């Protein structure tokens, strides 16, 4: 059986490689060939799973069940929330992409919404668009509304076509504040077939002057090092962005993580190191706590100045972070781990509450890839108490005022404007709740498999 050896290096500590095969005569010899996958899952989880002490006794497990059901039978009630688990399993896809759902996509993230007065159809509200994508090429942008696909209403049965399908004609609309309704543009838009796209997490950057302060603003949408797990072009883009901020002599900073639901721990460590006060460099960022199988259960992470490379440390004392219910895992790790060193002000709404990390295990013969939770994440003060999410210090809901659901960087955009007003010591632009009521049913950001801090 061909099985991958897993090595993990954390803060200079090499954990011993463990072979997760199961060949020859052992206690499972009596089981049929089809139980190989379940045996491999069981062996791996008993070594690495953070809550491995809660895995049922082998006599209480059914090794003849399908691997997805078997995997689920091993999971702790502490793993995840709302009936779904953070640990995942999937059929192996021969791809090394670090961002799921970019292999076949239109390049847009969106919510589906039930709009007041329209009980038969959904509208898709665009959150952001990857520039080099079918959606970007026809000029779709944040704030647009997709009202129909090929002349047909969007419904619960067909909305998933917007994740990626063939070419189609879209009826696109906009919110008209004067009439307090969504109106279609005069001409429909023809979008090309979905394809592989590049969703660079370094999505937008700018500098603003307010109250005599120079304010850097960065929209960072997922913690990914590059187009593939083995490349680092996105990390280099992040370093270049901080070169730009340093050259602009910013002394305040707004980090927009409202759509960032996690990714690689290494990217989070890099971003923390460039944001932290210079006096914190070289100190402990936090630590990872593994299960009792490991003699040294804790692995320490540092604010390592060597990570910065051609980037720049901004030597900040305060960080303003824009958050939502989609802000999760690596984003929350950043918030938690910077709190001991600087003032972190949250603007938006309560975050998800994922204080655990996963690691990938692949068995190429069995065509299975698992991402079980393997550790809990603490900051340098020993705190990891955000399983219920971080509450915002200043509340702001971008869906409450549709007239101010504007492109990133527009100083009148609700959440950015709130942060700029707070920094400049002036009141944010008065927000008037839209009369038109919309209810979000689905959010495409949730489809990204960055469900926890992922150990590369």
**Model pLDDT, residue 336:** 98
Judge whether residue 8 has pLDDT over 70. Answer: no
Q: Structure pTM?
A: 0.90
**Model pLDDT, residue 102:** 86
What is the arithmetic mean of pLDDT over 131-155?
A: 97
Judge whether residue 47 has pLDDT over 90. Answer: yes
**Model pLDDT, residue 11:** 36
Mean pLDDT of the chain: 89
Residue 270 φ/ψ, nearest 5 degrees: -60, -50
Judge whether residue 19 has pLDDT over 50. Answer: no
Express each pLDDT in 205-228 by its tens digit.
999 999 999 999 999 999 999 998
Judge whether residue 112 has pLDDT over 60. Answer: yes
Express each pLDDT in 155-194 by its tens digit.
999 999 999 999 999 999 999 999 999 999 999 999 999 9
Q: Which tokens hold the place of 354?
A: 């994922």
Judge whether residue 2 has pLDDT over 50. Answer: no
For residues 379 and 298, the answer to whether their CB atoms sit within 8 Å is no
Question: What one-character DSSP code corresponds to residue 12?
Answer: T
What is the arithmetic mean of pLDDT over 85-106?
A: 77
How far, in Å, CA of 65 to CA of 37, rounded? Answer: 10
**Which of 236, 205, 203 shows the shortest CA–CA distance to 218?**
205
Cα separations in angstroms, 100 against 96, 142, 160, 270, 354: 10, 21, 15, 22, 19
**Model pLDDT, residue 14:** 36
CATH class as words, domain 108-191:
mainly beta
- In the chain, what percentage of residues exceed pLDDT 70? 87
Q: How far is CA 321 from the centre of its chain?
A: 15
| Residue-range domain boundaries for the chain | 6-91, 108-191, 202-455
Per 3-state DSSP, the chain is made up of helix, strand and coil in percentages (nearest 5) of 20, 30, 45
Q: Which tokens hold the place of 190?
A: 């023809």
| 339 contacts: CB under 8 Å, gap ≥ 6 | 379, 381, 383
Cα separations in angstroms, 371 against 64, 78, 253, 337: 22, 16, 33, 23
Beta bridge partners of 223: 263
How far, in Å, CA of 138 to CA of 130, rounded? Answer: 12
Judge whether residue 138 has pLDDT over 50. Answer: yes
Q: Is 83 helix (H, G, I), strand (E, B) or coil?
A: coil
Q: Is 163 helix (H, G, I), strand (E, B) or coil?
A: helix
Length of the chain counted residue by residue? 456
Q: Which tokens hold the place of 130?
A: 């990857």
Helices (H), 52-113: 67-74
For residues 173 and 454, the answer to whether their CB atoms sit within 8 Å is no
**Model pLDDT, residue 426:** 82
Judge whether residue 55 has pLDDT over 70. Answer: yes
Express each pLDDT in 284-331 by its tens digit.
999 999 999 998 899 999 999 999 999 999 999 999 999 999 999 999
CATH of domain 202-455: 3.90.226.10
| 66 contacts: CB under 8 Å, gap ≥ 6 | none
């Amino acid at each position: 059986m061909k099985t991958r050896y897993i090595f993990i290096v954390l803060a200079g500590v090499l954990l011993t490689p463990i072979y997760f095969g199961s060949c020859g005569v052992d206690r499972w010899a009596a089981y049929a060939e089809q139980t190989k996958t379940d045996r491999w899952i069981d062996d791996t989880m008993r070594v690495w799973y953070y809550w491995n002490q809660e895995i049922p006794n082998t006599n209480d497990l059914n090794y003849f069940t399908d691997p997805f059901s078997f995997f689920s039978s091993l999971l702790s009630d502490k793993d995840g929330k709302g009936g779904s688990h953070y640990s995942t399993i999937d059929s192996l896809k021969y791809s090394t992409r670090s961002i799921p759902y970019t292999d076949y996509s239109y390049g847009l993230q969106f919510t589906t919404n039930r709009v007041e007065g329209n009980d038969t159809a959904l509208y898709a509200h665009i959150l952001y668009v990857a520039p080099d994508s079918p959606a970007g090429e026809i000029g779709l942008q944040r704030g647009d509304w997709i009202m129909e696909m090929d002349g047909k209403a969007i419904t619960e049965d067909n909305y998933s076509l917007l994740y990626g399908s063939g070419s189609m004609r879209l009826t696109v609309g906009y919110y008209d504040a004067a009439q307090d309704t969504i109106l279609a543009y005069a001409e429909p838009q023809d979008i090309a077939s979905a394809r592989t796209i590049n969703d660079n997490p370094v999505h937008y950057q700018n500098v603003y002057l307010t109250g005599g302060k120079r304010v850097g603003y960065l929209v960072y949408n997922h913690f990914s090092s590059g187009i593939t797990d083995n490349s680092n072009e996105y990390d280099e883009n992040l370093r270049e962005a901080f070169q730009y901020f340093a050259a602009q002599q910013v002394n305040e900073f707004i980090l927009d993580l409202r759509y960032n639901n996690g990714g690689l721990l290494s990217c989070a460590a890099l971003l923390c190191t460039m944001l932290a006060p210079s006096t914190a460099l070289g100190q402990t960022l936090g630590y990872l706590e593994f299960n009792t199988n490991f003699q040294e259960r804790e692995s320490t992470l540092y604010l390592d100045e060597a990570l910065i490379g051609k980037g720049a440390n901004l030597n900040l004392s305060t960080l303003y972070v824009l958050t939502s219910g989609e802000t999760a895992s690596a984003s929350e790790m950043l918030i938690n781990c910077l709190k001991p060193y600087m003032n972190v002000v949250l603007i938006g709404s309560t975050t998800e509450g994922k204080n655990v990390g996963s690691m990938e295990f692949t068995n190429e013969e069995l065509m299975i890839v698992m991402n079980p939770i393997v550790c809990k994440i603490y900051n340098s003060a020993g705190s990891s108490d955000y399983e219920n999410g971080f509450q915002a210090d200043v509340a702001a809901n971008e869906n409450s005022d549709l007239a101010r659901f504007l492109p990133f960087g527009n100083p009148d955009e609700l959440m950015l404007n709130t942060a700029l007003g707070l920094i400049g010591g002036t009141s944010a632009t008065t927000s008037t709740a839209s009369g038109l009521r919309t209810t979000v049913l689905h959010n495409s950001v949730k489809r990204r498999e960055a469900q926890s801090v992922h150990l590369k």
